[in-house]
Amino acid sequence: MSSLDTLFTDLRARKKKAFLPFVTAGDPDMDTTAALVQALAECGASGCEIGVPYSDPIADGPVIQASYQRALDNGFHLSNLFDLGKKVTPTIKMPLITMVSYSIIHRTGMQRYVDSAIQAGYCGAIVPDLLVEEAKPLADICRKADFSLIQLVTPTTPRDRQVRIAELSSGFLYFVSVTGITGERSTMADGLLDNVGWLRERTSLPICIGFGVSNAETAATLAPVADGVIVGSAIVRRVGAAVDRASAVADVTAFAKEIIKAIA
């Protein structure tokens, strides 16, 4: 079992929901990213997604796009991601997941990327641009290594395709709450809860909902049907607006505590 399997088994036994925050590696620098991850672990986050900066946006809205560009402008390199994992994972209990473009994995080499991530302490990867038709080679490598491969299901994904994606995923399924790009929203799409409920009947994988979860009220609405909620842009925006590292950590921690309380 991967660390994510253990996490969700424990959460389900205790009838708890996962809070999975997202932070961009290297925004504005790697020391700030490390401080944020440490603080999120200490305040009760279930796990943390670490976004790997990439110059060609996949489904990222302007807030996360800007954070990626800041990190790249400051010299982010993939080796920094692995150095971060080696630095923080010995001091925290929550699992860390990379969110990474398949082009980066392909360029690095699938086996090499997975091996490097595991050695750095990461337990899985969310790969938003990996087509289900091309997923099996990476899925096989990940399963052999107990490294979770998390894939996305969207509101427009045909239902037979949703099932195929679930079959080639592990750890959890990332259910995109809206059609479009990442970003904070005040309302969720019509039919979201029904769509998640339909998929839940067809897979044993935990289902976590992301894209658009901007506040505690939205998180509380999603918690009854989801195994976890994912919050990205609302956190990244706070980091980008902070005047220094200490204020970024303080603001993100306070916000995280609101989400955790809302889904308890």
Question: What are the tens digits of pLDDT across the range 206-223?
Answer: 999 998 788 999 999 899
Q: Does residue 175 sit within a domain?
A: no
CB 213 within 8 A of CB 177: yes
Q: Does residue 63 sit within a domain?
A: yes
What is residue 57's predicted lDDT score, i.e. its pLDDT?
66
Q: Does residue 208 sit within a domain?
A: no
Look at the alpha carbons of 249, 252, 254, 257 in this order and tell me if their dihedral is positive or negative. negative
Distance CA(160)–CA(100), nearest Å, equals 25
The catalytically annotated residue of 5, 27, 60, 184 is: 60
Mean pLDDT estimate for the chain:
93
Q: 3-class DSSP state for residue 34?
A: helix
27 is catalytic: no
Q: From the CB of residue 251, how many other CB atoms can be counted at a distance below 10 Å?
A: 16
Q: From the CB of residue 184, how many other CB atoms can be counted at a distance below 10 Å?
A: 18
Q: Does residue 56 sit within a domain?
A: yes
Question: What are the tens digits of pLDDT across the range 147-172?
Answer: 999 999 988 899 999 999 999 999 99
Q: How many domains does the chain have?
A: 1
CB 206 within 8 A of CB 7: no
State what percent of residues in the chain have pLDDT above 70. 94
Predicted TM-score (pTM) of the model is 0.93
Question: What are the tens digits of pLDDT across the range 72-131?
Answer: 999 999 999 999 999 999 999 999 999 999 999 999 999 999 999 999 999 999 999 999
Q: Report the CATH number at residue 40.
A: 3.20.20.70
Give the end-to-end CA distance of the chain in Å, rounded to a whole number: 25
User: Nearest CA to 134 among 158, 117, 110?
Assistant: 110
CB 18 within 8 A of CB 44: no
- Write the CB contacts of 163 (distance below 8 Å, at least 6 apart in sequence): 202, 203
Q: Does residue 209 sit within a domain?
A: no
The catalytically annotated residue of 5, 27, 49, 227 is: 49
Q: Does residue 220 sit within a domain?
A: no
Q: Does residue 61 sit within a domain?
A: yes
Q: Which one-letter DSSP state was computed for residue 213?
A: B
83 is catalytic: no
Q: Which domain, by its residues, includes 249? A: 3-150+228-263
How many CA within 13 A on the CB side of residue 194? 3
Element (H, E) at 55: none
DSSP 114-154: HHHHHHTT--EEE-TT--GGG-HHHHHHHHHTT-EEE-EE-
Q: Does residue 31 sit within a domain?
A: yes
- Write the CB contacts of 187 (distance below 8 Å, at least 6 apart in sequence): none
